[in-house]
Amino acid sequence: MNCPVCNSIDIGKVGTDQYYCWNCLVEFTLSGTDGFTAYYVDEEGTLVSLSEMAQNDQFQEENILG
């Protein structure tokens, strides 16, 4: 199995259909044959969806740029 984010093979299983990539340091879940959801693990151990982080960054850029 390869990481869907960075394509690394350094993957560990942390739960049912939940995996952790030691290369890009994200946790991801598999859904279906081609689907996945990737999460950043913050300092407190909370999982934050990468798509949610990207939306927040885009919102902050729009506020900064006006």
Question: What pLDDT shows up at residue 62?
Answer: 44
Q: Express each pLDDT in 24-66 by its tens digit.
A: 999 999 887 778 899 988 888 888 888 877 766 644 444 444 4
Which 3-state string (H, E, C) describes the chain? Answer: CCCCCCCCCCEEEEECCEEEECCCCEEEEEECCCEEEEEEECCCCCEEEHHHHHHHHHHHHHHHHC
Domain boundaries, the chain: 11-65
Q: Per-residue pLDDT for 23 more than 60?
A: yes
